[in-house]
Amino acid sequence: MTRVLTVAAAQLGPVQRSDARKDVVGRLIAHLREAKKQDCALVVFPELALTTFFPRWFMNDQQEIDRFFESEMPNQDTRPLFDEAKRLQLAFMLGYAERHSEKGRIHHYNTSILVDSQAHIVGKYRKVHLPGHAEHEPQRPFQHLEQRYFERGEGFSVWEAFDAKIGMCLCNDRRWPESYRVMGLQGAELILLGYNTPKHYPPAPEFDEHAMFHNHLVMQAGAHQNGSWVVAAAKAGNEEDIPMIGGSCIISPSGHIVAQAETESDELVVASCDLDLAQRYKHTLFNFQSHRYPPAYTAISNQ
């Protein structure tokens, strides 16, 4: 019996600083309802889906910074999302800024959660590859202060859910082959990710014309080389005057993009993912057991 999971990449258009969480949640709920109409079982929302991409600004006041974070999940603003997903029997991935208190210490992570169709949080991932910088760089047209506002997460996991092996990562993680390989080594058949990517890359403006090509290249490679589906949801469009790329998509283990966004607004991208196709690649071209040679790779983890 083939395992086919119909999945949606739920792209968001811009979220402005003044947009209230409950209004953003209303947009997420509209995505859930459209996904249900298209017989989806799982919906992937972007990285930091509840707020504008606030690392674009330098802030020094922790109270001001904390206003972009969620101290519990679900909470008053997001409970309607969990309730509607349960009513519709839909699972979802949500990216958000997590404020976590542990042993009296406060931690801040760029987080995504995997929520099953009963609204139970079955998986949590905290972003490993934090791009940008930690100090104010006023010469930049805008900041990218993820290294200032977030702590690094511990690593990549894979969860058994919906009769599939599901991994999660976030944004800059998708540019590093190690992210996919660590999940591939855990058997990932479906990798869910969200991203917020400015069209302009101040350290190397000459890359800007390749932004969408690079966006898809790294995910197509990661999907194919690990025999996994990739479902990628962007937060796109002109967010606080900073243009962000769209290009949300669903990528097959063959490496082909099977569905992709055409706009930079709220847009649902849907595809039926044959999970046995992932196994087909894992048992042939990318049979890790018979073709990989880890003793030759020590430089990758030693450096």
- Show which residues are catalytic: 47, 127, 171
By CB under 6 A, name the one of 66, 74, 124, 131 that touches ligand ING.
131
11 to 40: interface string for ligand ING, x by CB under 6 A = ------------------------------
Closer residue to ligand ING, CB minimum distance, 74 or 131 = 131
196 binds ligand ING (CB under 6 A): yes
Closer residue to ligand ING, CB minimum distance, 143 or 165 = 143
248 binds ligand ING (CB under 6 A): no
Size of the site for ligand ING (CB under 6 A): 9
152 binds ligand ING (CB under 6 A): no
260 binds ligand ING (CB under 6 A): no
Instruction: Indicate the burial class of 146 (C-beta count within 10 angstroms; 0-12, 13-18, 19 or more).
Output: buried
Please tell me the distance from the alpha carbon of residue 81 to that of residue 162, in angstroms, as a whole number.
20
By CB under 6 A, name the one of 172, 220, 228, 260 that touches ligand ING.
172
125 binds ligand ING (CB under 6 A): no
Please tell me the distance from the alpha carbon of residue 261 to that of residue 250, in angstroms, as a whole number.
9
Which stretches of the chain are DSSP H helices? 21-37, 62-66, 79-87, 146-149, 177-184, 211-225, 275-282, 288-291, 298-302
C-beta of residue 168 within 8 angstroms of C-beta of residue 194: no
Burial 250-274 (b: 16+ CB within 10 A, else e): bbbbebebebbbeebebbbbbbebb
Contacts with ligand ING by CB under 6 A lie at 131, 171-172, 175, 195-198, 201
